[in-house]
A and B are shown apart, each in its own frame.
Chain A
Amino acid sequence: MFDGTQRRIVSLWFPRFASDRALRAHPLEGPFVLTLKQGNANRVHCLNAAAEARGLYRGMAVADARAFCPELSSRPAAPGEDARFLALLRRWATRWCPWVGFEGPDGLVLDITGSAHLFGGETAMVESLCQRLIRSGLTVQAGTGATRGAAWARAHYGEGRPLADLPVAALRLEPDTVTRLQRMGLRLIGQLADSPRAPLVRRFGAGLLLRLDQALGAQPEQISPEAEPPHYGLRMTLPEPIGLEGDVIGITARLLDWLCAKLKDHQSGARVLRLTLRRVDASTQDVELRLARPLRDPARILPLFQRGVAEVDAGFGIDQMRLEAVQVETLPAEQIAHIQTRDRGRLDDLITRLGTRIGLENIQRYLPADSHIPERSFIIAPAAYCEPQGSWVAVRPRPVVLFPPEPLAATGDRPPATFRWRGMALTAGRITGPERIAPEWWLDDPNWHRGLRDYWRVETRQGRRLWMFYTPQNPGWFVQGEFA
């Protein structure tokens, strides 16, 4: 071809990929379909051979399918799961050759140039490949060829036949183009290749001939292998089981050194770490560490493991340890400032340690919010996932403690001179107000169903300084907070 060597491509097609995957997980006998809601109807997404034998086909309404075949069993399709499974298969297929790419949602393409001899030749390799896939419950059709197009055509339309004898649909064309070609009497690839090119281009555009040339090898077509995401997991198997806390920490330290070196290479930091300890009786115990900020400094992470490791029951001993960074975030190199960098790190470590006891999301911080509603004028957010923000502006004095509004027995639109609150008889001494706050009409807040509020600050002669409000639209008095 272009570089003088003969390329060999294998194309794998899984005709019943989705239903095979579903049946692999939970096997069933008899006709089976996966349903997917398309438009407003549930339609058949994928079906097994038994269902096809009953005359069902893809895209038919599930109600029709049930009418044809009353004993039909069905499950909803999960395209996301299918894609994940195909990615796993792609990763598995790299055992045959390093260049493996996706071919649509239900196929793989392997560039086996130069690797077939490792498995006893091309035929033996493809056979073994298919055998393994069939044994794992997948229906597979394989095709080999000198180009990606030829391999695809053989996988879908029959292995072993010359390309010229295959129908034009084997060229990966739009169904519409195929119909139009057939109407012109061009049924086979050979006929298409022999026809004059210029009229074809004028009638069908350049796409048709591009596909033809790609299949015949006159135009190049590359296979893009997917990049492997970096894997942040390490394990160490020990010759003798260990049980002392110090030993476990020591091995964790060694694993952590390697892991952190890898994190540093990828400019990232671990957010969640999991240490899996396998005991000699084959049971495992997990120690999970959720960090208050992404870290890749072994000296700081190691002490944080102390508490989790101390709680582990070693039984008859631990003979394998595995450390994995479950959640990783980017952590670019940072300029170290001369102010307060050390303290910040100490505080984050403390938050992490407290988080292992009460949950990292329960360590919180106040953030300002843009609202006049008192209870929504600030947000409480997990401290590990946000930075402190400035700009706390209270235009008017606000109480230091807020509580759910407590009703007060009073009438009129001015605060009562004497009233009872929480069992105390109080006399108003100084009254400031009113400050009218309107509900946010764009939010439907049940606490504000009484409408407008007129807030008053009432300083009582007994000392307590209360923040109370009157609701003019639906008269009533409530106490909502207390000043310092």
Chain B
Amino acid sequence: MPSSSLIAYPLRPGRVHEACGPSAASFALWTAALIGGDVIWVREAWRAEQLNPLGFQGLDPARVILAQTMDQNDTLAVAEEALRDGAVPFVILETTAPIGLTAGRRLQLAAQAGGTTGLCLIPEGMGSNAAETRWHCAPVFDAQDSTRQRWSLIKNKLGTCEAWNVRWNPEAHRVAVVSPVRE
């Protein structure tokens, strides 16, 4: 029986976390909305998929700064620099290939030095061992609600793994856990 509140969420600051799955982008946006402040979103410039600022839930697009990089090396370097600097409280990076142990550890050290939270959006199954937590996020069909998602905590360094059905509560401006519908 899943608990009524999320564990390991909001994401622990000073660490880098990972998210994968079809709804990883909205996981990142909701988290950014909860953390507040500016967000740096690092992604590779060649990707055809792009974020649509008009679809952001809870997050003001004016707070997002986009860094378009040439390749994954640049992505990691930019993310490390932004994490270490601490000028923004939340840094999101999108990777396209698995990152090594060294790179993962460097990101963790940078986040610790800057006191910032990092979130790495990874392709499924390409997680790094250094990640503090890893989330799998997928949308869930619901007859009434069209923001419902299933977040599964699939890696947690400081606790157990669980899964919840959640929705974005625009009035309270936060993520709410809902009980799953019995068919």
Contacts and interface: CB of A to CB of B under 8 A. Distances in A.
Contacts of A365: 62, 64-66
B141 A350 contact: no
Given A366-B53, A394-B54, A430-B143, A464 B22 contact: yes
B124 interface: no
Q: Is chain A's interface secondary structure helix, strand, loop, or mixed overall?
A: mixed
A364 B66 contact: yes
A484 B29 contact: yes
A346 interface: yes
Contact of B143 (A378, A383, A394, A429): A429
Interface stretch (A40-48, A155-163, A327-335, A399-407): A399-407
Interface size class of B (residues with CB under 8 A): 35 or more
A2 to B, nearest CB: 63
B65 A484 contact: no
Contact of A378 (B61, B63, B65): B61
Interface string B80-113: 0110011110000000000000000000000000
B55 A483 contact: yes
B154 interface: no
Interface in A439-484: 457, 459-465, 481-484
A392 B60 CA distance: 8
A251 to B, nearest CB: 26
Contact of A364 (B49, B65, B88): B65
A203 interface: no
A460 B143 CA distance: 10
A389 B64 CA distance: 12
A399 B140 CA distance: 16
A349 B82 contact: no
A346 B26 contact: no
B23 interface: yes
Contacts of B5: none
B81 to A, nearest CB: 6
B139 A465 contact: yes
B78 A401 contact: no
16 contacts: A346-B85, A346-B87, A350-B82, A362-B67, A366-B61, A366-B64, A383-B66, A399-B52, A400-B25, A401-B55, A402-B50, A402-B51, A403-B49, A460-B141, A461-B141, A483-B139
Given A347-B88, A484-B25, A484-B29, 5 more contacts: A392-B61, A401-B49, A463-B141, A463-B150, A484-B55
